[in-house]
A and B are shown apart, each in its own frame.
Chain A
Amino acid sequence: MRFPASLVVLLAVVAGCTATDQVATNSVPSSAVLNEDTIWDPDAVFIGTQEMGNVPADVFDSVDVAGIRKQRDQWAEAFAAGDGETVQFMFTYDAHLQLPEHSDLPDTKAGDSLLSASEVFDKFTAELVFDEESEAYSSVGGFRNEFDKLPWVTFKSDYALSLTPKSGGDTVEQNGRFISKFRRQADDSLRVVRGPGIGDQAPDFALNRMSGGKELQLSSLWNRPTVLIFGSYT
């Protein structure tokens, strides 16, 4: 069965790890040739990088599985309620569409799907069910010498989505894969983050300049265009 493009775009997302990421697991030797298939072995929990070598077992303790599942369930509830705003929040801009059975379709950024959510919920009621046995967690980089606390985690779970036309007709069923990044917050919880979107007022902040310079208030620059480049040396 083929689906309308807007539906297909909404149905499944993959964020974060791609075939080019180099990830090792606690069950795969670090010298193994790793690809997307080995990254997402549903029987394993993935923490590590190819260069890392041995990883202490207790590193997995810092993954708040219950907290992630709670947000996962909120996403499912948003589907059931037709709450497009919440559904859209859970989509991350770094997400890629992954529909193995639609390999003929172009790779689509999940950000594009934000435009189609309201259209879908205008026409369908939805039920989203996650398969906990398919869950896997990964984290690439950012923690090699801080095993006690992963700064971010990529969460993956297969799901089944049913969409029933409000105007009547057959229910459309689709199996997909939800993958999103969860960033550790100041309170140590892991939460989905998206940041301000295009058209949003940028959150103001005050940070010190380098080399003991004066504090810079971002809003003091708002008499001219400003470019924010976030990054680090590594």
Chain B
Amino acid sequence: MVYIEEAHPGNIVGGLQVNQTETYDQREAVAELCTTSLDLSFPTVLDKLDNAVEITYAAFPDRIYVLDSDGVVRHKTLPGPQGWDTAGPMATLDRLLGKTPVSD
């Protein structure tokens, strides 16, 4: 996961008001709260406060990319929340891992 700036700062999540983070340490603290409370097991990196990676990938407020073993984009969801989708990325990942026949 690439943890980016809050989409809806000020929202109450798990009984806590989550504000926009103004320092790297604040972003890291909220990210840890997020991954712990949601029991996320995959590695998480933190975008920097300039949001450079998120902007480069047009990833706000959430988005999934699937890359092949050469780093080429093979699947890109629409940005969330309307575009949130896991079935498409999963199907692409299965294909890249050889779990389903390659069709293209």
Contact = CB atoms under 8 A, between A and B. Distances in A.
B71 A229 contact: no
B5 A151 contact: yes
Contacts of B28: 210-211
B76 A233 contact: no
B8 A141 contact: yes
Interface string B56-75: 11111111111111111111
A92 B83 CA distance: 12
Contact of B78 (A94, A146, A201, A203): A94
Nearest to B34: A233
Contacts of A228: 2, 57, 59, 64-67
A92 to B, nearest CB: 8
Contacts, number: 194
A69 interface: no
Given A211-B28, A222-B67, A233-B6, A198 B20 contact: no
Nearest to A15: B79
A218 interface: yes
Interface of B: 1-11, 13, 18-20, 28, 30-35, 42-48, 50-76, 78-80, 82-83, 89, 93, 96-97
Interface of A: 18, 20, 49, 51, 92-94, 109, 111, 141-146, 151-152, 183, 185-186, 193-205, 207-211, 216, 218-219, 221-234
